[in-house]
């Protein structure tokens, strides 16, 4: 029987626990635009007491520079309007340009705006703003999350901002191949060991990803292989996966700890592996608990891998089907 992406998506589904991240983002989405901006400011500054993102490099900031300069030269009212446009995904000039940014350029843009807010150059919250009870509800929900989950909420809200340019052609700016590289914070692990797993494709995948060697990682997939990032649809085919990896997987430190491998009658293998991933934005200060669910075809190639954010650290041990 031929492997299908749909059936691959369901492997180990009965070991999965719903993540509190989408629920928190759903609460955020229900807020009005000014409440959303206020929530982000409070959440970000509150979080910043324990963890702060690393400053983006000059090369990355340069990509957002023209928008940032325009904003700096605006009146406080105009600045607030720009942020409202971004949060409401309006079709306005800056919101449109932002919509073409890659994920990391979006994050760098907001990092710098946050700095300008702390310096008092940009107004963080609309003048005369009165906090509504809904904001406190989302803040309370956010406080219950672990740091890896909190930064995922922040990241997803930032990624969703700006005019939706997906119908305006395939280009994101900059092109994935022109993305500046993240400097690696820790030496990449050269030999991967995962308790319970010896599958070569999986070990090579982690090794390649920890070296940002995406060509190597891609060569481990089948021609119709797919990668499903957390809370997203599968990305299908080596070309699309490579573009995605260059844009969003650079500089990650992957530390798989344990896993299980189940041989299937057709010669394919299903593996579930749990462990910790660090993003270059926060380095060693934030660990994200995740699972990889791999479907390896009988020829030893990756047909499918899903990356799931875990609901809690207990889930790191939640490998067996019951
Ligand atoms: O609106 O195996 C202010 C894949 C003002 C690849 C603000 C992976 C108001 C395959 C507060 C300033 C990638 C899938 C805003 C593995 C306002 C694979 C600013 C997984 C917006 C393992 C807010 C990788 C700011 C994973 C500046 C799971 C927010 C990676 C900044 C996860 C937020 C990476 C930042 C994450 C968040 C990175 C910098 C979650 C970064 C998060």
**Confidence at 190, pLDDT banded by 50, 70, 90:** low
* Cα distances (Å, whole numbers) of residue 226 to 5, 8, 43, 222, 267: 7, 9, 34, 8, 19
Q: Is the CB of 117 under 6 A from ligand 1?
A: yes
Mean pLDDT value across residues 144-166: 96
Q: Are 307 and 290 in contact (CB under 8 A)?
A: yes
Instruction: Reply yes or no: is the peptide bond before residue 174 cis, omega within 30 of 0.
Output: yes
Mean pLDDT value across residues 165-184: 76
Alpha helices in the chain (DSSP H): 5-9, 20-29, 33-47, 58-72, 76-87, 93-99, 103-118, 133-143, 147-160, 200-209, 214-219, 238-248
Residues forming a β-bridge with 258: 195, 274
Does the pLDDT value for residue 322 go beyond 70?
A: no
Q: Mark residue 302 as left, alpha or beta (left: phi above 0; alpha: psi -120 to 50; beta: remaining).
A: beta
Q: Is the CB of 20 under 6 A from ligand 1?
A: no
Strands 235-236 and 253-263: unpaired
pLDDT tens digits, 271-296: 999 999 999 999 999 999 999 999 99
Q: Is the CB of 114 under 6 A from ligand 1?
A: yes
State the ipTM, two decimals.
0.96
User: Over pLDDT 90: what percentage of the chain?
Assistant: 87
Residue 1's pLDDT is 61
Alpha helices in 88-213 (DSSP H): 93-99, 103-118, 133-143, 147-160, 200-209
Which of the listed residues 102, 154, 188 should we mutate to test ligand 1's pocket, taking the one with most ligand atoms within 8 A of CB? 154
Mean pLDDT value across residues 87-114: 96
Residue 2's pLDDT is 84
Task: Calculate how far, in angstroms, residue 172's C-alpha sits from the geometric centre of ligand 1.
Answer: 17
| Nearest to 308, CA basis, from 239, 253, 238, 234 | 234
Task: Calculate how far, in angstroms, residue 151's C-alpha sits from the geometric centre of ligand 1.
Answer: 6
Q: Is the CB of 53 under 6 A from ligand 1?
A: yes
Does the pLDDT value for residue 214 go beyond 90?
A: yes
Which of the listed residues 47, 52, 67, 252 should we mutate to test ligand 1's pocket, taking the one with most ligand atoms within 8 A of CB? 252
Does the pLDDT value for residue 166 go beyond 90?
A: no
pTM of the model: 0.95
Residue 172's pLDDT is 65
Residue 171's pLDDT is 61
Does the pLDDT value for residue 99 go beyond 70?
A: yes
Contacts of 210 (CB under 8 A, 6+ apart): 188, 189, 192, 252, 253, 254
């Amino acid at each position: 029987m031929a492997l299908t992406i749909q059936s691959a998506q369901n492997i180990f589904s009965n070991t999965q626990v719903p993540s509190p991240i989408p629920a928190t983002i759903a609460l955020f989405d229900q807020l009005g635009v000014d409440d959303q901006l206020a929530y982000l400011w409070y959440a970000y500054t509150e979080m910043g007491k324990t963890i702060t993102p690393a400053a983006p490099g000059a090369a990355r900031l340069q990509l957002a520079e023209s928008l940032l300069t325009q904003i700096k030269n605006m009146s406080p009212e105009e600045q607030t309007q720009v942020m409202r446009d971004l949060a409401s995904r309006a079709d306005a000039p800056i919101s449109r340009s932002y919509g073409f940014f890659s994920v990391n350029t979006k994050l760098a843009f907001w990092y710098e705006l946050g700095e300008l807010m702390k310096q008092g150059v940009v107004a963080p919250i609309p003048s005369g703003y009165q906090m509504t009870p809904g904001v406190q509800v989302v803040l309370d929900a956010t406080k219950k999350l672990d740091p890896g989950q909190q930064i995922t909420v922040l990241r997803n809200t930032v990624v969703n901002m700006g005019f939706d340019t997906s119908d305006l052609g395939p280009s994101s700016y900059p092109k994935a191949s022109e993305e500046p590289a993240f400097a690696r914070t820790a030496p990449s692990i050269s030999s991967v060991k995962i308790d319970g797993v010896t599958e070569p494709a999986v070990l090579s995948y982690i090794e390649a990803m920890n070296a940002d060697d995406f060509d190597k990682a891609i060569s481990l997939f089948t021609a119709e292989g797919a990668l499903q990032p957390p809370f997203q649809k599968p990305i299908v085919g080596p070309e699309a996966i490579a573009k995605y990896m260059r844009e969003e997987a650079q500089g990650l430190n992957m530390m798989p700890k344990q896993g299980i491998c189940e041989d299937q009658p057709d010669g394919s293998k299903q593996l579930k592996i749990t462990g910790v991933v660090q993003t270059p934005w926060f380095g060693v200060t934030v660990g994200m608990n995740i699972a990889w669910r791999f479907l390896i075809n009988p020829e030893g190639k990756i047909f499918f891998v899903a990356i799931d954010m875990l609901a809690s650290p207990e889930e790191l041990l939640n490998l067996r089907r019951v």
